[in-house]
A and B are shown apart, each in its own frame.
Chain A
Amino acid sequence: MVKELEKVDVVTVGAGWTGGIIAAEAAKEGLKVLSLERGKRRGTKNYQHVHDELKYALRYELMQDVTKETVTFRNRPNEKALPMRQMGSFLLGEHVGGAGTHWNGWTYRFMPYDFEIKSMTEERYGKAKLMEDKGYRFQDWGITYDELEPYFDKFEKTAGISGEDNPLGPERSDKYPNPPMVKTKSLKMFEKAAKELKYNPYMLPSANMSQEYTNPDGEKMGACQYCAFCERFACEYGAKATPEVTVIPTAEKTGNYEIRTDANVVEIIKDGNDKVKGVKFVDTVTKEEFIQPADVVVLTSYMLNNYKLLRVSDIGEQYDPKTEKGTLGRNYCYQTSGGATGFFDEQFNTFMGAGALGMTLDDFNGDNFDHTDLDFLHGGSMATTQTGARPILSNPVKAGTKSWGEDFKEESIKNFTRTISVAGQCATSPHKDNYLDIDDEYKDAYGLPLVKLTYNFTDQDRKRTKYLAEKSGEVLEKMGAKHVDVFGDLKDYDIVPYQSTHNTGGTVMGDDPKTSVVNSWLQHWDADNLFVVGAGNFAHNSGYNPTGTVGALAYRCAEGVIKYHKKPGRLEK
């Protein structure tokens, strides 16, 4: 017997960054907001003994329970997809805060070029450069950087970003709310070498607080202690901007917000042809089913789950790679890393650091360099970071060294404090054969099909990654490394080793319903009171971390939700 609960104004699926931002903004406007979160409640008090590499970095304490739900995966459409039985390539979050709890905090703004990549490429190089005949499907996002700029600014202030001006960056309406983090020896070496090479280094924009900070909503964050347990961990000082120290308390203090934990949404309930009525969820403890009606439904879970809920609820048309009809599941993209490791004689304090402590440069990102003679578009941000090396996962040895035995032991121990890496975090190109669907064999713990991921790196991705890797190696040579190993040759995409939790696409935004799922307000083309927000909205992935842009889109979406609630209907740009 499914019990129907009392209607709320807004329901969000999940309580991470996007759900928290929607909740804070809508609740401040007086709307009654409920977040349905399938995980548990947690916060800074739970993180007081977080310095345990095994538990958090290898056993994924903060991550999604894949016994209940995972994805199936294959490289190519003609292969059989099999379940990702253990997490590896990407680390999905769970519980209040979502992946926003265990992130590192690198907080970039995507470039003007990203949002208008198709028209700007065509204008500068001609239509052939888009390589549509080779299956690439670049498209504009239906929004410009200038239109998004106020939302970037808002997110950076909420999250207390520590940073300095990017010499190659776009116009900003204001500076970062906090000064940049400190420079360590390796960062200073990178800066000097990059400047000698006539590049434009700047401190990586960081959501680790360079000083104590109170955000515009009155939320206080501590100063980062550089304790070196950030990525895959949570902060015991409340010094990393996460939903649970910012937007969630902001929403809660209005009195208009509630989080229901242990609530796994399994369906969006349709109401006629152009609206939704609410969502159905399962209490994960009692297994009871409930219907939660709402004026507005906002999908704010990870991009894979946002896609899945639309698909299993039969909202929108599934993308088919053969006919290229349908938009749901289209333009799945990822991120690659092309970099190099330098071996030095001197020792560095590699075990100190912070998740987003680094220096970066955009000389080889976007269209900041001429692509006339290159057979790929876009590029990547190059950076050296000092995120804190930990002993189980950090065992640097020169290429060709045996992976076990006495040499391995002696070398990996010696190099633990004697290596510096420089890497390009690269964009990936949308391709017609890379997409999301649902699996016809494997199911989750609630009887729903798993998401089926078909993905491989494209030729453009391979060339771009190699290009950034070689440039990174040159910087390390300039920094004085005695030996440099360059890692730029991508093989088939492999779901086993960790690469990046920067999965994008599947619920793409745009101004044409033929090539997008949501409009520029992140409002679904087929249901006016349904919004879908997150990295799934990206029509391709940039050479940056996604969260800054996800945060900006969430603030825009929140504005859309409030507008819609005042005056229901299709929102115009």
Chain B
Amino acid sequence: MSDEKQFSRRDFLKTTGAATGGIIGGSLLGGFIGFNLNDGQSEQAEQNKTDGHSEGDKSTGGSLSDKTRVFFMTDEDFNVVEAAMERIFPESKVGPGAKELGAAYYLDGQLAGQWGSNAKEYMVGPFYEGLPTQGYQSNLTRAEYFMIGINKLKSEAKDKFDKAFDELDEKDMDAILQDFQDGKVDMGVPKKTATSSYFFTMLRAATLEGVYSDPVYRGNRNMGGWKMKQFPGHQHSYLELIESDEFQEIDPMPNFGM
């Protein structure tokens, strides 16, 4: 391992042609380079993981910090949603939680894009309150829906505990989230527009997506979600292993290689 680290990541990618084309198996590569958005900074990021800070903005070559955002305008909103996602998928014995895995950065990118603006859905009116079996009937985009929900998380924390949501004890955050899931929180708009339980459903889904989707979407940092779950990500072929009765531990690979 230590010998291999003498390569720079950039040189390595140059010589392998980004590794997506020809190498079957992928485990060849998976072991020694952690995937990270701040190119060239993987060791640095590794060191900083313990205190939760990244020095990505010091990187050279014009690459970006891994703390950049495009959707959430205030730190306050971002911190609230990040804290809520961490309660849904907390750091635990088995490994990192949603915060360390960058799930909130994943959500930030999604809300700024097609998914946040419901660009792939039928959003023609009129809008009526439907039965549960009829699915989403709100006129809101997800971006609008999320902001109502996040503001409500903030006001619930303030009203009940007189604190910011992300400064609450874990059990108090959980109690608020449970009320959201149970549909007990009045969102301040008609039910056909938004409910707290549907907001929770979307937040939970986004958390799982953020911890387990390909790292290209900015979550699942260092493929930590996949490593915990023993999911090898993108592998070209299992032809040689498929008939084995033994469990196979395979280092994960992202879709576009390392």
**Chain B residues near A176 (CB, 8 Å)?**
none
**Chain A residues near B120 (CB, 8 Å)?**
59-60, 65-67
Q: Which of A70, A226, A403 has the most CB of B within 10 A?
A: A226
B247 contacts the other chain (CB 8 A): yes
A230 vs B201: C-alpha distance in the bound complex, in angstroms?
27
A262 vs B231: C-alpha distance in the bound complex, in angstroms?
38
B42 contacts the other chain (CB 8 A): no
A392 contacts the other chain (CB 8 A): yes
**Known contacts A225-B237, A406-B90; A85 and B242 CB within 8 A of each other:** no
A227 and B237: CB pair below 8 A? yes
B135 and A495: CB pair below 8 A? yes
- B116-144 CB contacts (< 8 Å) to partner A: 118-124, 126, 128, 130-137
Q: Which of B90, B120, B208, B229 has the most CB of A within 10 A?
A: B229
Interface residue from B136, B177, B228, B235 paired with A413 (Cβ < 8 Å)? B228
B133 and A226: CB pair below 8 A? no
- A339-373 CB contacts (< 8 Å) to partner B: 346-349, 351-353
Interface residue from A348, A349, A406, A416 paired with B92 (Cβ < 8 Å)? A406
**Chain B residues near A399 (CB, 8 Å)?**
none
A349 vs B250: C-alpha distance in the bound complex, in angstroms?
10
B233 contacts the other chain (CB 8 A): yes
B214 contacts the other chain (CB 8 A): yes
Chain B min CB distance to A232 (Å): 14
A184 and B94: CB pair below 8 A? no
A416 vs B225: C-alpha distance in the bound complex, in angstroms?
12
B241 contacts the other chain (CB 8 A): yes
Closest to A391 in B: B212
Chain A min CB distance to B29 (Å): 15
Closest to B232 in A: A351
Closest to B135 in A: A496
A51 and B234: CB pair below 8 A? yes
A80 contacts the other chain (CB 8 A): yes
Chain B min CB distance to A11 (Å): 28
A395 vs B225: C-alpha distance in the bound complex, in angstroms?
13
B94 and A409: CB pair below 8 A? yes
B189 contacts the other chain (CB 8 A): no
B214 and A54: CB pair below 8 A? yes
Closest to B97 in A: A409
A349 vs B256: C-alpha distance in the bound complex, in angstroms?
23
**Chain B residues near A478 (CB, 8 Å)?**
none
B229 and A413: CB pair below 8 A? yes
Interface residue from A65, A353, A443, A492 paired with B133 (Cβ < 8 Å)? A492
B174 and A416: CB pair below 8 A? no
A88 contacts the other chain (CB 8 A): yes
Closest to A181 in B: B242
A134 contacts the other chain (CB 8 A): no
**Known contacts A349-B241, A442-B124; A496 and B133 CB within 8 A of each other:** yes
- A493-542 CB contacts (< 8 Å) to partner B: 493-496
Chain A min CB distance to B139 (Å): 10
B122 and A66: CB pair below 8 A? yes
B248 contacts the other chain (CB 8 A): yes
Closest to B92 in A: A406
- A367-395 CB contacts (< 8 Å) to partner B: 389-392, 395
**Chain B residues near A406 (CB, 8 Å)?**
90, 92
B236 and A225: CB pair below 8 A? yes
**Chain A residues near B214 (CB, 8 Å)?**
52-54
Interface residue from B128, B181, B247 paired with A417 (Cβ < 8 Å)? B247
A58 and B248: CB pair below 8 A? no
B229 and A82: CB pair below 8 A? no
**Chain A residues near B94 (CB, 8 Å)?**
409-410, 413-414
B133 and A493: CB pair below 8 A? yes
**Chain B residues near A448 (CB, 8 Å)?**
none
Lowest 8 A-B CB distances belong to which pairs?
A: A225-B237, A51-B234, A391-B212, A347-B247, A352-B238, A54-B213, A494-B133, A226-B242
Which A residues form the contact surface with B (CB < 8 A)?
A: 48-49, 51-54, 58-60, 65-67, 69-70, 73-75, 79-80, 82-86, 88, 182-185, 223-228, 346-349, 351-353, 389-392, 395, 403-406, 409-410, 413-414, 416-417, 441-443, 492-496
Which B residues form the contact surface with A (CB < 8 A)?
A: 20, 87-90, 92-94, 97, 114-115, 118-124, 126, 128, 130-137, 174, 177, 181, 204, 207-209, 212-214, 216-217, 225-226, 228-239, 241-245, 247-248, 255-256
